[in-house]
Chains A and B, each alone.
Chain A
Amino acid sequence: MYLRYAVRRVLNALAIFVIEMFIFSVLFTATAEKTVRAQIEESLQPEAARLRNASAEQVQRFVAERRAYLYRVSHLDRPMPVRVLWRTADTVTFQFGNSITIKSSQGERNVWRIIMETVPRTVLLFTTSIALQVLLGVWLGLKQAQRAGRTLDRSASIVTMVVYGLPTWWVAMIFIMLLAYKLPIFPSGGMHVLPPPQGLSSAVDLVWHMALPVITLVLVNFWGVALLARNIVLSILQEDYISAARARGLTERTVLFGHAMRTAAPPLTTIALLSLLSSVFGNIIFEGIFSWPGMGNLYWISVEQGDTAVTLGLLAVTTAMYIAGLAFLDLIYGLLDPRIKTGASP
């Protein structure tokens, strides 16, 4: 039963991805082709220059033929609807072409390679902070739910409201100003000092560079997790079976962890991870403030340099990651929620 559910969910995610990529192609094909045309013209010039002994007419004919060939290869000679479909196919298979100015650390111009170089760094930064946010958030949320309406609960609720509309990147700017320049405790950005150290000190250096971005993300975002945890646990604590458990004389600890948490775990895990997943994509620009060389930083660079191929490739990869993340969370939820496993309607 679960397998069927899982297969359906994965197929659904794939369909959504293809449809979204089609919509993007409709929106952005015209822009993306400008880059491709410019790149073709650029490649024609040195080729024409190599024909030393040819007459002007021959050169012209050669260039025209070459251009027609390159247009045919990149489907630029076809009508617009067909080009949109070709672009969709290319995007879905992650063939983003070549960048204009940006290069990978190996000097490659391939957009996919450039993006893939940044993905692990983004994953490292955000998974670390998400793990800390879940730990701190669930802990605080439980404390709040246990003593709902008391001082801790009230003050934590106020802080949640205060940080609700706070842009993480602005907090990052303030922290850099205070903790990297006024009081030089943390480095102001990047992943490593230059030149990068080797061995164990490299790891220490990495942690040192990661500290301030992670602290910023956690400090701004874990309150939301706490509120979710509080509300889910609190609504479960009002169920009859909890009263029954209390009436049987079980300790508050057993009631909380043995009874309430067992029901709370599936929605809590998925909702908390879901909200954190969307917060990642809402905070991705944040990397640029710390010059953390991940995907968010690449967004900054590609937008500033007007490198459309990289920007569009990034959008496709980011969207794919988001859709995959949502599907993955649904699959976890299916595992945790017995109603899906047995085929009952969720």
Chain B
Amino acid sequence: MSGAHPAPDRLPARPWMRDLFASLGREPAGIAGFLMLVLFLAGAVFERRLITFPQTDSRWHDITYWDEQPANAPPAWTNAFARQKSAVSLLLSPSQSRQETSDSARLVTCVFTYNYGFDLPPRDLVVRFAGSGEIPVALTLTRPDGQEITLDQEQVSAGSGTDIRISVDKSAGQAALGFLQGYESAETMTGADVDRIRPTTVLFSQARQGMLAAPRPLKGGYQVTLLAVLTTEGAQVSNPMLLVTGRVSGLLGTDNSKRDLWSGVIAGIKWALLIGLLTAFVSVAIGVVWGITAAYFGGPVNWLMQRVFEIFSNQPVLPLLIVISAVFKPSIWFLIVIMSAFFWTGPVKTVYAMALSIREETYIEASRALGAGSARLIFRHMVPLLIPYAFASMALSVPGAVVYESTVSLLGLGDATIVTWGQILHDAFTGGAVLGGLWWWVAPPGLMIALMGMTFSFIGFAMDRILHPKLRTR
């Protein structure tokens, strides 16, 4: 077959498909579905630019990676609707940093400037640096009203380049108590104790009587100064940072393991697309070929294929999927294989019926008379006619695959090397997010599953309507 004329036996396929996609452009649901699909694909492609934590995917289950975030914090934009604005999480570099050398020691001073303009103070201020050797350090806070408070003095011992963190919340309780004593009566102070006061609440409040019971925020520029004395030769302080652990964080807040949910939800897009599309493609391909082959050969081949079909279609898929996941702890790829091994039964019955009538067409007979073999007849003459139906069927089986993977993950049986929406919901459910009303943890992942389902049901139903015009209107 060469030259200007296209192979005649390919003809049926292309116009059908072009027709299908052209008609899809006229269905509002089809357009909506395709737009949403484009958005999802864009989300998967530009994932790196969208997420705030680049290693979300590989280190989702690694708690140390998320240490800098507050736990269970609502999204930062909730401030817009709140009467009292909450401090937002920040990572600050020193505004000044100098090193003075005297005869026996070097003195490192780092000043961080934090502009506090909220009503509710941060949960914690954490000074962190990479330290080497035995280092005496002191932490002081200079408030906008000029007061200077020594927060903490201690000796840190570090190996070489150890990550040192000094938390104001944990170490400045005594300092905060001392600061309170200057303003509150002795009577009030009997009710205060180090374990119950929040240092940041005291330190970020206006200094006056009654500040313990009813703190008023003192807004303005705060300076946190880190003073480190390096006495030995190898002692070192490098890369100092001030971490402001806010009460609100990120676009979608955080979960109880301090993970940024926006990053998790966005990183889940590609996995959902992969699971849905791959499972749908493989299973529908098997189903279409299975149905056609059974119809084409008939007789004992058909009988055998129908019996195998019955065994698979009489199996409730989700329970088996759960048990297989519980017993074998499969990776995401293995899960896709198992799902494909059961989802293929979906299109078989319809394909079989359609193939039975196609088999009787005269062009099949003509082709056979010309000496075409079974494989050629099936794949070249019968499969192309069923491609539009296969597309609709694929689109409609994507949501099922996504939901099934989520359900398996909801039970805590998901692939622990990746992050999927179902896993986030598992953590939310077991972490008490439903009881605690942490909506930013429960709603977004489920909404994404729902939107993914909608995308493909819009496309699938639109295709279905095009293929069955009788059902459109009377």
Interface of A toward B, CB cutoff 8 Å: 12-13, 16, 19-20, 23, 27-28, 31, 148-149, 157-158, 160-162, 164-167, 169-171, 173-174, 176-177, 181-182, 188, 231, 234-235, 237-238, 278, 281-282, 284-285, 288-289, 299-300, 303-304, 306, 308, 311-312, 314-315, 318-319, 322-323, 326
- Do A165 and B446 touch (CB < 8 A)? no
With known contacts A165-B402, A167-B403, A188-B435, A173–B446 Cβ distance under 8 A? yes
Bound form: Cα–Cα A234–B469 in Å: 12
- Which of B219-227, B248-256, B449-457 faces chain A? B449-457
Identify 28 residue pairs between A and B in the complex whose beta-carbon atoms are under 8 Å apart, listed by A's number. Answer: A13-B314, A28-B323, A148-B474, A149-B473, A162-B450, A165-B449, A165-B454, A165-B456, A166-B449, A169-B410, A171-B446, A177-B437, A234-B471, A235-B470, A281-B318, A284-B318, A284-B319, A285-B410, A299-B319, A300-B411, A304-B411, A314-B319, A315-B319, A315-B320, A319-B315, A322-B314, A323-B314, A326-B314
Bound form: Cα–Cα A23–B312 in Å: 11
- Do B310 and A166 touch (CB < 8 A)? no
B443 at the interface (CB under 8 A from A): yes
Bound form: Cα–Cα A319–B442 in Å: 31
Bound form: Cα–Cα A174–B407 in Å: 16
Bound form: Cα–Cα A188–B470 in Å: 45
- Do A27 and B324 touch (CB < 8 A)? yes
- Do B319 and A166 touch (CB < 8 A)? no
| Residue among B322, B439, B457, B473 making CB contact with A161, cutoff 8 Å | B457
Distance (whole angstroms) from the CB of A264 to the closest CB of chain B: 14
With known contacts A148-B473, A165-B456, A282-B318, A174–B446 Cβ distance under 8 A? yes
| Residue among B399, B402, B434, B452 making CB contact with A176, cutoff 8 Å | B434
- Do A182 and B323 touch (CB < 8 A)? no
Look across to chain B and name the residue whose beta carbon is closest to the beta carbon of A326.
B314
| Residue among A149, A177, A289, A314 making CB contact with B474, cutoff 8 Å | A149
B326 at the interface (CB under 8 A from A): yes
Chain B residues positioned under 8 Å from A322 (CB to CB) = 314-316
Distance (whole angstroms) from the CB of B443 to the closest CB of chain A: 7
Bound form: Cα–Cα A334–B238 in Å: 81
Look across to chain B and name the residue whose beta carbon is closest to the beta carbon of A153.
B473
- Do A182 and B437 touch (CB < 8 A)? yes
Distance (whole angstroms) from the CB of B256 to the closest CB of chain A: 16
**Residue of A12, A19, A170, A312 ringed by the most chain B CB atoms within 10 A:** A170
Among B419-474, those with CB < 8 Å from A are 425, 428-429, 434-435, 437, 439, 442-443, 446, 449-450, 452-454, 456-458, 461, 470-474
Bound form: Cα–Cα A171–B398 in Å: 19
Chain A residues positioned under 8 Å from B402 (CB to CB) = 165
Bound form: Cα–Cα A314–B319 in Å: 9
Bound form: Cα–Cα A63–B471 in Å: 73
Distance (whole angstroms) from the CB of A141 to the closest CB of chain B: 12
Among B398-412, those with CB < 8 Å from A are 398-400, 402-404, 406-407, 410-412
Closest 5 CB pairs of A and B: A165-B453, A165-B399, A149-B473, A170-B446, A164-B457
B4 at the interface (CB under 8 A from A): no
B71 at the interface (CB under 8 A from A): no
B203 at the interface (CB under 8 A from A): no
Look across to chain A and name the residue whose beta carbon is closest to the beta carbon of B462.
A161
- Do A173 and B470 touch (CB < 8 A)? no
Chain A residues positioned under 8 Å from B461 (CB to CB) = 157, 160-161, 164
- Do A285 and B407 touch (CB < 8 A)? yes
- Do B425 and A165 touch (CB < 8 A)? no
- Do A19 and B442 touch (CB < 8 A)? no
Bound form: Cα–Cα A235–B470 in Å: 7
| Residue among B324, B442, B452 making CB contact with A173, cutoff 8 Å | B442
Main secondary structure of the interface of A (DSSP, over half): helix
Chain B residues positioned under 8 Å from A326 (CB to CB) = 314
Chain A residues positioned under 8 Å from B202 (CB to CB) = none
Bound form: Cα–Cα A176–B436 in Å: 11
With known contacts A16-B310, A164-B453, A238-B474, A174–B443 Cβ distance under 8 A? yes
Chain B residues positioned under 8 Å from A27 (CB to CB) = 324, 327
- Do A289 and B429 touch (CB < 8 A)? yes
B29 at the interface (CB under 8 A from A): yes
- Do A311 and B323 touch (CB < 8 A)? yes
Look across to chain B and name the residue whose beta carbon is closest to the beta carbon of A161.
B457
Chain A residues positioned under 8 Å from B434 (CB to CB) = 173, 176-177, 181, 289
B186 at the interface (CB under 8 A from A): no
Bound form: Cα–Cα A28–B320 in Å: 11
Look across to chain B and name the residue whose beta carbon is closest to the beta carbon of A304.
B412
Chain B residues positioned under 8 Å from A158 (CB to CB) = 29
With known contacts A158-B29, A181-B437, A311–B326 Cβ distance under 8 A? yes
Chain A residues positioned under 8 Å from B407 (CB to CB) = 167, 169, 285
- Do B449 and A170 touch (CB < 8 A)? yes
B22 at the interface (CB under 8 A from A): no
Chain B residues positioned under 8 Å from A300 (CB to CB) = 411
Bound form: Cα–Cα A289–B433 in Å: 12
- Do B449 and A235 touch (CB < 8 A)? no
Distance (whole angstroms) from the CB of A316 to the closest CB of chain B: 10
- Do A170 and B319 touch (CB < 8 A)? no
Among B368-416, those with CB < 8 Å from A are 396, 398-400, 402-404, 406-407, 410-413
Chain B residues positioned under 8 Å from A174 (CB to CB) = 442-443, 446
B311 at the interface (CB under 8 A from A): yes
- Do B446 and A167 touch (CB < 8 A)? yes
Chain A residues positioned under 8 Å from B406 (CB to CB) = 167
| Residue among A164, A176, A235, A303 making CB contact with B322, cutoff 8 Å | A303
Bound form: Cα–Cα A281–B399 in Å: 16
- Do A181 and B425 touch (CB < 8 A)? no
- Do B452 and A165 touch (CB < 8 A)? yes
- Do A237 and B446 touch (CB < 8 A)? no
Bound form: Cα–Cα A325–B466 in Å: 33
Distance (whole angstroms) from the CB of A126 to the closest CB of chain B: 13
Chain B residues positioned under 8 Å from A314 (CB to CB) = 319, 323
Look across to chain B and name the residue whose beta carbon is closest to the beta carbon of A312.
B323
Chain B residues positioned under 8 Å from A299 (CB to CB) = 319, 322, 411
Bound form: Cα–Cα A181–B442 in Å: 14
- Do A319 and B319 touch (CB < 8 A)? yes
Bound form: Cα–Cα A282–B346 in Å: 14
Bound form: Cα–Cα A312–B398 in Å: 28
- Do A165 and B315 touch (CB < 8 A)? no
- Do B413 and A303 touch (CB < 8 A)? yes
- Do B319 and A281 touch (CB < 8 A)? yes
Bound form: Cα–Cα A311–B439 in Å: 32
Among B45-76, those with CB < 8 Å from A are none
Bound form: Cα–Cα A148–B473 in Å: 5
Chain A residues positioned under 8 Å from B452 (CB to CB) = 165
Chain B residues positioned under 8 Å from A12 (CB to CB) = 310
With known contacts A161-B458, A164-B399, A303-B413, A315–B323 Cβ distance under 8 A? yes
Bound form: Cα–Cα A41–B314 in Å: 38
- Do A166 and B437 touch (CB < 8 A)? no
Chain B residues positioned under 8 Å from A167 (CB to CB) = 403, 406-407, 446, 449-450
Bound form: Cα–Cα A312–B324 in Å: 10
Q: Would you give the 0/1 interface string for B313-346, flagging 1 where the beta carbon is closer than 8 Å to chain A? A: 0111111101110110000000000000000000
- Do B314 and A170 touch (CB < 8 A)? no
